């Protein structure tokens, strides 16, 4: 796909996010006379985001660019997105966040490491890294943030 088309799509998506942000903050309470209110900063940032997107969009349309963008790791990106969607669906359906996130992280680490020879040692390190990471996440969320999953 040409980079010009990708740039145009991204500028439109960023503008849409800005419009949605402005729409969402309309439900916030109104400010009193001397205050700016809770919606001021999100609206200001959204307007700034839309303005910069329009400038970028105009520059992209004016400029002639025939570069083609390639995604060498597109398969890994697609596998990661599908894995995350399945993870979120299974988590929402059955719960067990830490168990499922351990499986997800270990699976993705093993998948990303399959460029070379996949040995038992590498698989064990991936699983161990996933377990240690999730234990640290559990401790952080439970004892620092006081949040249960």
Average pLDDT over residues 111-129: 88
Mean of all residue pLDDT scores within the chain: 89
Considering the entire predicted model, what is its pTM? 0.59
Cα of first residue to Cα of last residue in the chain, in angstroms, is: 41
Residue 48's closest CA among 83, 15, 71, 74? 15
Is residue 48 in some structural domain? yes
Is 81 found in the same domain as 44? no
Question: Please, is 64 exposed, middle or buried when counting C-beta atoms within 10 Å of its C-beta (0-12, 13-18, 19+)?
Answer: exposed
What's the pLDDT tens digit per position in 25-80?
Answer: 988 888 777 777 888 889 999 999 999 999 999 998 888 777 777 778 889 999 99
Total domains present in the chain: 2
Is 92 found in the same domain as 47? no
Is residue 68 in some structural domain? no
Is 35 found in the same domain as 81? no
Is residue 86 in some structural domain? yes
Residue 112 lies in domain: 74-144
Is 140 found in the same domain as 79? yes
What are the beta bridge partners of residue 68?
Answer: 2
């Amino acid at each position: 796909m040409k980079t010009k088309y990708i740039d145009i799509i991204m500028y439109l998506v960023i503008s849409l996010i800005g419009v949605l942000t402005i729409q969402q903050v309309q439900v916030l309470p109104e400010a009193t006379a001397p205050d700016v209110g809770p919606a001021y900063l999100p609206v200001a940032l959204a307007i700034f985001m839309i303005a910069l997107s329009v400038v970028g969009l105009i520059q992209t349309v004016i400029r002639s660019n025939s570069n083609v963008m390639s995604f060498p790791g597109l398969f890994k990106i697609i596998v990661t997105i599908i894995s995350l969607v399945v993870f979120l669906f299974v988590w929402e359906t059955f719960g067990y966040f830490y168990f499922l996130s351990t499986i997800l992280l270990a699976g993705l680490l093993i998948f990303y490491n399959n460029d070379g020879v996949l040995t038992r040692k590498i698989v064990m390190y991936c699983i161990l890294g996933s377990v240690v990471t999730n234990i640290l996440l559990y401790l952080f969320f439970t004892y620092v943030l006081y949040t249960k999953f």
